[in-house]
Structure 1
Amino acid sequence: MVWAIRGATTVSNNDADEILTETQNLLKEMAQKNGLAEDDIISIIFTVTKDLDAAFPAIAARNIGWTSTALMCMNEIDVPGSLKKCIRIMMHVNSDKDKKDIKHVYLNGAKVLRPDLT
C-alpha cells in the first residue's frame, strides 16, 4: 500500500544549519518510527513558513544519503496567526502496515499542531 506520513517541526531562527539539523532529525524520526528504508520512500514534499528562507529543507534528506528519492520544497500558506518558523513534511511511502499503524511525527513547537498524536 501507498501511505502518506505527516511530520512537522519548528526552529528558533532562520538559520541554514538549524533548518537542516531539525529537518534531518524529523526525517530520521519519521523513518525510524515507521520502520522505513530509503527504498520504501516514494517522494517527500517539504513546506516552510514564509519566515524560513535560509535553506531548502530537502538538502537534509540528501545529507543523510537519500539520493534516489523525489523531493520538492514549497512555501506554506501564510494564514494569519499560524505557527511560525515551521517545517512540514508529507512523505509518500510503500508499506505493508495498516493505515492505523502509520506513525505521524511532530517535534518541538510543532507538537501544538497535533496534540492528539504527541
Structure 2
Amino acid sequence: MAAEPTSKITNCPDCHVTPDTLHHQGCDVARCARTGLQRLGCGHTSNACNTRWTGRWPGEAECVEYGLVIDVGSDTEPLPDLNRLYALCDWDPNQQRMVLRAPIADHGGEHPERNT
C-alpha cells in the first residue's frame, strides 16, 4: 500500500479559522453538518448546519483511513482521492464524517475500487 499523506494541520485556507473552530459565514471550504456537501450551496438558512475546521481539508482524514489515496510517485506524498471518497462513502451527520457504504456482496465483501 502507498504511504499515507502527511498534511500538516493548518488554519482554514478560506476563512482562516484555527482548528476546532466553526467556519465563518460564507466560507468556501465549510461543509454542511446535515449533508456533508459544500455549505455555501446547502440551502439551510440558519447557522445550525455549520461545521468546525479540523485542520485538514474536508474528507482527507477519511481518505487516509480508508486507503483512498493516489500514489503520484516515489518523490511525492500520495494525495487523498476525494472523488473516490464521494463515490464510495456517504455523509454521516451524527459522526460528522464520511463513512463507507456497506460492502458489495458480488465482490467478496470488499469495495471493488478501494486501495487496500
TM range (shorter): under 0.3
Q: Which has the higher contact order (CA 8 A, sep 6+)?
A: 1
The alignment's TM-score, normalised by the length of structure 1, stands at 0.25
Could you say which structure has the larger radius of gyration?
2
* Structure with the larger strand share: 1
Q: Which has the larger share of helix?
A: 1
Normalised by the length of structure 2, the TM-score is: 0.25
